Structure 1
Amino acid sequence: EAHLLLRSALMDPNLDESIVKSELIAAFRESCAHLGDWFSRLGTKHSHLALPYYKMSCLSISDIINRIVGMEMPRGYGKGFLFYLKHALFEEQDEQLSEAMALKVIEIFNAMEKTQLPHVLCSPCLAHVSPRKAMGYLQNLQPSTLVSLIKANMARRMNDLDTCKNEIQHHSEMMLLCAFMDEPRLLMNERGKDVIPTALAFYFKDAAPGLLVASLVALHENNKINLAEAELFFKALCEKMDDEENVPQMLVDFWEARLSTYPPESVLQDILFKLTSYYVWRICRPHHLCVKPLKSPEDLRNSCSHFGLISPWTSKMMSKESALCYDCGEFFKLQSLLSGPSMDVKLFLPFLKLIPEDNNSCLSIHILCATRLMQYEKSIEKLLDRCPEAVISYAKHEVKEGSRDIWWNMLLPELCNRIRSIQSNNEVFISSLKDTLEMIAMELDTKDFLNALPDDGTAAFFLPYLLNQSKKKLTV
């Protein structure tokens, strides 16, 4: 009743800031603490009320532990207190217990609820716990992947890297991923809007970056973190929080790996946008710092259908390019995404404006986009101007059923015009003309084939194709 009276008094709208209000708040908090003490001793269904009352008391975890430890409880700690302590250690991110208090927490759970000890040791509140003493308690627990990871973390804190490595190597990557799913706090802690990587995360960054990326993918896939939190994590891990331009390579590895797990459409489009913007940014800065990614373009194509096969004509275009960074692979990854089924080229067009056409590699990106938009004639014209050796490969690969007339209505006349205009034996154009005639001979009947041939052509040049065409039609 006294507690309710205090609460009612504080809710009085006429109560101004004064000494009286301060005294009422202090009395209310003390009342909450006493009620928390009461419910903490209970073992009934109401024991969970210790948590809200202790929270309203505004006492620290250390203060509450001292209150409970000071009480005489012959049967051990009450169910309500353990309920409060578990939730407080899980929710509290700022308070760090002293070494002595952290040890007391371990002793409490070791005596009352051993199965919770691994989870308790993952709390940032126990950052100052003695790793040697914690290891002693862990040795008595049932072996598990989670226990091994916590042992590894304690060994790392003692600079015993051999033990740390051995504890991790006892388990498969899948089991380690499951343990991180069970306890994400092994890798990260949240502090307000910030995501803080743990020291163990920094260890894995150097020792097993692939495992770390896979762990974050699993956490995101199971809604433990969102994309923004993953981005904050990797930027903090790679110490690039204040660098808006330089995206950490591990974050890019995370995006690429997440694509391989086939996320829902909303997440897919978000990641595609992030990846393409990053690839374009790197392509437009040819003198960037090269960091080798976890997966090559070929790895991504083999593991993820969002990355399509690169067309032969693009390879032909880039065969003479020496400025490409093959270690980074961003250029080939972008080509592969644009060749895949998931990328909406219309959404990519604003990025396309940023890519110059000053070399064949960059030109191939423009032609890929034009091709996806079914602008075949425009693409062929650009190839004839800039890279004629790739034009036949392009036409064979991209000009499908329904657009075959481009061969005789556009490509054949254009090749003839260019051969006339240069007035010399250009081997590339002549070779392309021969390939074009062979293709047209298979597609058209004799009359249409004759009509497609130029009026001023040399009969000796075109006659073999006409004869072959006639023979093929006769054998059909």
Structure 2
Amino acid sequence: MVRLYNLHPFGSQRVVPCEREPARFCCGRDVLFVAGTAASCRVEAFALGDQGSCEPLGSFATLGPVLRMAHSQAGDYLVTIEEKSKATFLRAYVNWRCMSAGSSRVCVRMVGHKMEESYSETLKEQMSIVEMPLSDPPLCISCCPVSGDLLVGCKNKLVVFCLKYLVINQNLTVLDFERSLILHIDNLIPAEVAFCARHVAVTTELDVLILKLELVQQSADRTEQCAYSVSTLEKPVDGGAKDEGPSTLTSQLELDEFIICQKPVELLGEESKLCEIPITLESTELPTEDTKRFQVQYLLFSEKLQCFTVRCSAAAARDEDPYIDTTVKESANKVLQIFCVADPVQLPHILCSSCMTNVCPLTAVKYLQRVEKVMPSVVLTLTKAFMALKMGDLTMYEHEMDSYKEINSCSHFGLIFPWVTSIMSASSPSDKGYHEDISKLQSLLCSQSINVASVLPVLEPLMEAGNVGLAIRVLCSTRLGKHEEAIEQLLERCPDVAVLYAQHELKDDNRAVDKYLKYHWVTNPADNSDFF
């Protein structure tokens, strides 16, 4: 059998022999670190030259196998996550270059350990290993290239260690670290972290979150608390009501009455707060006049279901055919075929992914019917109904929806707002045939049982459907607190309802009502002569 491999044409390459089998590596500006396998527990260092040379500098022992490691140019230290006896340890190797000069002396000390001058004089000629204990196992690390500060990712938290330069005397300055800040983030298991100039990036299996730590003016009150809650979930909306938190959202998504299939989203700037990830900052520095206080600014939140689909389908494909080229992102129909065999329960969720937009609805229905014979469910039936709508088969849609009439008889519906009824009174006759379904959807959006931000991608196709789409669009804007945007939409499409909307939604803010209605009356007097 002939196997083909992709080759990348580099300008040059140099093969460097290692004394031990390599398992991990990382690079600095002029140095390469190679960690051996569990059998060796050593790290080898190589100097990188301008002409492509790579000369060995020496090696040093580690506590156990290296799981992660990174080099910081600022401070010239190597930080590692190591494992021993099923426990993980965070260690920084400082002054490691003395090993290349033939010195074998090593000092192991705890972070923040106060060093006496007489003892510290010996640090000039020896490598120091700084142990940094954590309450939770470290999962990933990153060094700031500007300051040399260290970011450590743990379950449900990110820990910041500041790099300190301790002046022992005029001839000796040593490096140390101080745990200065903890970012508590609910339901977070970081896969990778990055840290640069107070910008923090964290990725999980499916999400990316980028934050900026902003310095805030220190209070004159020395007793101020060190914890800051920056969750946007408690922002008052709709006259003081509070939006749903993560625990509420989780319970919503577990309800059996309806299903929410989210598309990949990317939120920038202020909109990234809609990710609804609460973050609390805890300062752990000893309070002094120079102690810094931070607050968080959200920069980006990106959610990839799509990546999940591609990753899972690629893994399933490799199980079926180890030599399959999974770099071509498996046609949509091929993905269905793979998942129907490998993980049929995922089919409804796969079909709602944005990467499956071009899937053949008829093919999808055939696969769904095949799975339904073995494991029927409400989710499968709803997905079949969705595919029927894509095909324009209203008979099939009604048949599927009639199969589970009790999915809409739940207690999560709200009273439809009067201005919604006014919009719908002008609906076209073609909308009357779906009056029940439309009313149920509007009732859900009028209630507090559904998180609007999470279902926006699903509702987008409906927002252009005449007055039905207008009602849905204005409802979504209202639930997100965007009342100005909602009024603009009504003034453009259905001005008679704008007054009723303002009276209902903005009854406590008369100035906002006057501002927007008068503005539109001045700019469009012919259309709005009956307003005042």
Q: TM-score, normalised by structure 2?
A: 0.27
Which has the larger helix fraction?
A: 1
Q: TM-score, normalised by structure 1?
A: 0.29
Please tell me whether Structure 1 or Structure 2 has the larger radius of gyration of its CA atoms. Answer: 1
Which has the larger strand fraction?
A: 2
